[in-house]
């Protein structure tokens, strides 16, 4: 009997607060999922942090890449033009010293230039264009991971509306919950205008230090009052909310990003003492897959 192929599942890593670990999480997750799935990763942020980390220029002729970027900017979807993702499977595998190579990873880079990026979709009636684009290519992928921009805008709404599930990274630091509550209010407002419901909300505590009392207090608050706050919102309906295992501060290195490597590849190549982190990231990813 042939196995029925499920249509792709779109996961957005999103929070309007800057610097909470969205890009890091999107990169980790795409890498992990792509070990045995076909994954599309989208850099939907004019800061182009993810695009810089993926370091395309190291792997492609500059001329080829520039002409690809010119004709395949993600912003073209706002003029209802189609674009083709870039197959970066070999790029990702070339960086990796891991035994586990990835299966298939495609990428839509950000064209950068924050000003033109944020100005692109300003006129109304364009909130569903990312969803429309993703629906048009969904059958080709198992997972679509979207790294979001950090400011509430038409583009931000596009990400909220395109996703089947959200991953909401929250730092386990003072005041993080206030920002996270604001985010939930934004989601409630945006989703209130549409007949859409998420499958899951995955809350992902980040920059966690188990030795710090304050971090543990914030983590406890996420598991109690934050979950209660989410449950009280109208957009939730049948949506399941789940708090994932925190990603510890010690797991993420700024020098991994300096050498343009993702967390898993860096640990495998230079920091094998922290291989427990690899198991943790596998566990988090399994949890997400199980709940799709």
4 three-class SS: coil
Residue 21, interface with ligand ATP (CB under 6 A)?
yes
The listed partner (ligand ATP, Mg ion, none) that binds 277, CB under 5 to 8 Å by sort, is: none
Assign 3-class secondary structure to 206-233.
ECECCCCHHHHHHHHHHHHHHHHHHHCC
Q: Beta strands 104-108 and 86-87: pairing type?
A: antiparallel
Does residue 19 interact with ligand ATP by CB under 6 A?
yes
For residues 22 and 89, the answer to whether their CB atoms sit within 8 Å is no
Nearer to ligand ATP (CB atom), residue 203 or residue 247: 247
Closest separation in Å from C-beta 258 to ligand ATP? 10
Q: Nearest 5°: phi and psi at 69?
A: -60, -40
Interface with ligand ATP, residue 24, by CB under 6 A: yes
Query: CA-to-CA distance for 107 and 56, rounded, in angstroms?
Result: 10
Q: Is 51 helix (H, G, I), strand (E, B) or coil?
A: helix
Does 37 help bind ligand ATP (rule: CB under 6 A)? Answer: no
Name the residue nearer to ligand ATP (CB basis): 18 or 237. Answer: 18
Task: Confirm or reject binding of residue 45 to ligand ATP (CB under 6 A).
Answer: yes
- Residue 165 in the binding site for ligand ATP (CB under 6 A): no
Q: Is 107 helix (H, G, I), strand (E, B) or coil?
A: strand
Contact residues: Mg ion, CB under 5 A: 22-23, 49
Contact residues: ligand ATP, CB under 6 A: 18-24, 45, 47, 49, 150, 206-207, 247, 249, 251-252, 254, 257
């Amino acid at each position: 009997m042939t196995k029925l192929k499920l249509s792709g599942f779109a996961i957005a890593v999103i929070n309007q607060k800057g610097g909470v670990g969205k890009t890091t999480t999107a990169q980790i997750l795409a890498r992990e999922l792509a070990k045995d799935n076909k994954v599309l990763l989208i850099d939907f942020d004019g800061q182009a942090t993810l695009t810089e980390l993926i370091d395309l220029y190291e792997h492609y002729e500059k001329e080829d890449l520039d002409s690809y970027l010119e004709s395949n900017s993600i912003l073209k979807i706002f003029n209802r033009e189609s674009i083709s993702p870039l197959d970066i499977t070999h790029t990702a595998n070339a960086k990796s010293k891991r035994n586990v190579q990835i299966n298939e990873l495609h990428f839509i880079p950000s064209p950068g230039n924050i000003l033109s990026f944020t100005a692109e979709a300003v006129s109304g009636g364009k909130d569903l264009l990312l969803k429309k684009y993703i629906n048009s290519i969904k059958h080709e992928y198992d997972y679509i991971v979207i790294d979001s921009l950090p400011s509430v805008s038409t583009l931000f709404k596009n990400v909220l509306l395109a996703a089947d599930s959200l991953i909401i990274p929250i730092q386990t630091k003072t005041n993080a919950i206030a920002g996270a509550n604001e985010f939930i209010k934004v989601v409630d407002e945006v989703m209130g205008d549409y007949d859409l419901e998420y499958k899951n909300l995955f809350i992902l505590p980040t920059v966690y230090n188990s030795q710090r009392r304050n971090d543990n207090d914030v983590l406890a608050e996420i598991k109690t009052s934050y979950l209660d706050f989410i449950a009280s919102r109208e957009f939730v309906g049948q949506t399941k909310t789940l708090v994932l295992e925190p990603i510890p501060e010690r797991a993420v290195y700024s020098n991994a990003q300096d050498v343009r490597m993702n967390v898993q590849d860096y640990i495998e190549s230079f920091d094998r003492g922290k291989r427990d982190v690899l198991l943790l990231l596998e566990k988090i990813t399994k949890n997400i897959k199980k709940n799709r």
